[in-house]
């Protein structure tokens, strides 16, 4: 597949021909990565996750409850990429309301991993990652609340980047957990990820959490020769499986050989990451999803009165995982448990952030696994608690609001990709891309 950088040198006519090709190849692939083939704008086609509004397109967040809903306005990330020679093309499959780690909970069915059709692509942005890995998209947008860009990128052997919270506008992104959500790129390589990140980033008055200062474009200034100090969190790695630990050790060696300085650190509170995240994310999700009542958006169930309308619409419209999270979220926000769970989780969130910041006093970047294993088999993640545990390496980064990038470094014996992530200080995307570009060269991953 042509890279995003190359594609940006082509004419609109050539890109129009490519779109026809992509649609045919996507249908033939059997991956179920695309759930629609709409076009909006002119230029290089970028695949869009089904929770980002493109004016006039269906936007369903992979849910039955939003069937029939048409976006009445455009997400700022889409407006921005359209001004940079790109266009929106096609809807990427996802876990319902971005809740999940496998893309098995979508109303549109399971997406498959191009590296093994019995494997999940990861989630929730599984359609975006599978399409880029499967050669049926040049690049894609995903969203990352607790790993949903980085983890599917790692499972599929592509590059996925989560910007600093506030760097990319959330205007027009269906809210899952508003204090954690960020839109970001999934691409074939680090440079393409930087190009797409540059295109979508920037201040936006319509998002009150948008950072209101500008930073320069990165893609043209990536310095892969810059020597950095990279922290490895020794007590963090032991939870990962043997192949991931091996890939980690090899990458550390490759980074040292490339001239970077490795420093060893420990983090004391990682055992609280999952509980903290699943309290805060579900609390915010329960609140955000209260708006889906059968009156204002999408599907409306048969009913005799208003109460029944809410009840039936939500019972029939939401899938099991979404219902589980609404229940959990309402529980932790209820008057009897608010202090014990929600308030305490907010405090722990600050401790987690402070712990990251302390490491950044001595290091430019942190190297970490993305997931404890390679992509699981389809159907193997039925126990929700087990699935939540697989988010152990990604969610703290969202709690701390930091930027991070996942890139493939190795494959296991069965040819399944293993990804690792670099994490940077808030708003230090330049250092993140410099380090990622160097790491990409150092590990020399072959597709």
- Between CA 20 and CA 17 the distance in angstroms is 5
Which of 203, 195, 260 lies closest to 433 in space, CA to CA? 195
Per rule CB under 6 A, is residue 61 in the interface with ligand GLN? no
Our CB check for ligand GLN shows the closer of 103 and 313 to be 103
Give the Cα-Cα-Cα angle 241, 243, 245 (nearest 5 degrees): 70
Stretch that binds ligand GLN, among 11-19, 144-152, 268-276, 417-425 (CB under 6 A): 144-152
Per rule CB under 6 A, is residue 145 in the interface with ligand GLN? yes
Choose, by CB under 6 A, the member of 113, 124, 128, 164 that binds ligand GLN: 124
Per rule CB under 6 A, is residue 92 in the interface with ligand GLN? no
Our CB check for ligand GLN shows the closer of 120 and 418 to be 120
Choose, by CB under 6 A, the member of 34, 176, 318, 445 that binds ligand GLN: 176
Choose, by CB under 6 A, the member of 8, 66, 78, 98 that binds ligand GLN: 98
Number of residues that bind ligand GLN (CB under 6 A): 13
Our CB check for ligand GLN shows the closer of 65 and 274 to be 274
| Torsions phi, psi for 221 (to 5 deg) | -120, 20
Q: CB 403 → ligand GLN: shortest distance, Å?
A: 14
| Residues classed as catalytic | 49, 124, 148
Residue count of the chain, please give it.
447
SS3 (DSSP) at 69: coil
Per rule CB under 6 A, is residue 148 in the interface with ligand GLN? yes
Choose, by CB under 6 A, the member of 146, 166, 298, 408 that binds ligand GLN: 146
* CA-atom Rg of the chain in angstroms: 20
Which of 236, 255, 252, 265 lies closest to 393 in space, CA to CA? 236
DSSP string, 261-279: EEEEE--S-GGGHHHHHHH
CB 101 within 8 A of CB 40: no
Our CB check for ligand GLN shows the closer of 145 and 406 to be 145
Distance of CA 61 to the CA centre of its chain: 14
Element (H, E) at 140: strand 139-144
The structure tokens listed for 396 are 């703290």
Stretch that binds ligand GLN, among 40-48, 140-148, 209-217, 367-375 (CB under 6 A): 140-148
Stretch that binds ligand GLN, among 72-80, 95-103, 107-115, 434-442 (CB under 6 A): 95-103
CB 224 within 8 A of CB 437: yes
Our CB check for ligand GLN shows the closer of 398 and 438 to be 398
Residues that bind ligand GLN (CB under 6 A): 98-101, 124, 144-148, 176, 281, 391
């Amino acid at each position: 597949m042509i890279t995003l950088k190359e594609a940006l040198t082509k004419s609109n006519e050539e890109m129009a021909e490519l779109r026809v090709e992509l649609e045919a190849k996507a249908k033939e692939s059997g991956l179920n990565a695309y759930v629609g083939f709409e076009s909006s704008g002119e230029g290089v086609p970028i695949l869009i996750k089904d929770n980002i509004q493109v004016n006039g397109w269906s936007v369903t967040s992979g849910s039955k409850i939003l069937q029939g809903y048409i976006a009445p306005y455009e997400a700022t990330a889409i407006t921005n990429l359209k001004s940079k020679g790109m266009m929106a093309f096609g809807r990427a499959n996802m876990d319902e309301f971005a809740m999940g780690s496998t893309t098995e909970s979508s109303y549109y069915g399971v997406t498959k991993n191009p590296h093994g059709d019995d494997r999940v692509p990861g989630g929730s942005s599984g359609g975006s990652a599978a399409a880029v890995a499967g050669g049926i998209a040049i690049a894609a947008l995903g969203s990352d609340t607790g790993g949903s860009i980085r983890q599917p990128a790692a499972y599929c052997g592509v590059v996925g980047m989560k910007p600093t919270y506030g760097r990319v506008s959330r205007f027009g992104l269906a809210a899952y957990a508003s204090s954690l959500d960020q839109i970001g790129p999934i691409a074939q390589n680090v440079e393409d990820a930087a190009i797409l990140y540059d295109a979508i980033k920037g201040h936006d008055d319509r998002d009150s959490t948008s950072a209101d200062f500008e930073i320069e474009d990165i893609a043209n200034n990536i310095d892969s020769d810059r020597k950095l100090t990279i922290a490895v969190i020794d007590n963090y790695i032991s939870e990962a499986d043997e192949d991931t630990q091996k890939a980690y050790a090899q990458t550390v060696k490759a980074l040292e050989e490339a001239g970077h300085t490795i420093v060893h650190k420990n983090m004391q509170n990682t055992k609280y990451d999952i509980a903290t995240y699943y309290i805060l994310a579900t609390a915010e999700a329960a609140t955000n999803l209260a708006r889906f009542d059968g009156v204002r958006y999408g599907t409306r169930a048969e009913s005799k009165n208003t109460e029944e309308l809410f009840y039936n619409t939500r019972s029939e419209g939401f899938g099991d995982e979404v219902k589980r999270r609404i229940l959990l979220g309402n529980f932790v926000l209820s008057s009897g448990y608010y202090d014990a769970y929600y308030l305490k989780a907010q405090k722990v969130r600050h401790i987690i952030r402070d712990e990251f910041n302390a490491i950044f006093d001595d290091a430019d970047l942190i190297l970490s696994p993305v997931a404890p294993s390679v992509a699981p088999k389809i159907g193997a993640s039925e126990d929700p608690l087990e699935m939540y545990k697989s988010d152990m390496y990604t969610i703290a980064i969202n709690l701390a609001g930091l930027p991070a990038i996942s890139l493939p470094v190795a494959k296991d014996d069965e040819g399944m990709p293993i990804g690792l992530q670099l994490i940077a200080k808030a708003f230090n995307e330049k250092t993140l891309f410099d380090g990622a570009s160097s790491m990409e060269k150092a590990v020399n991953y072959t597709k």
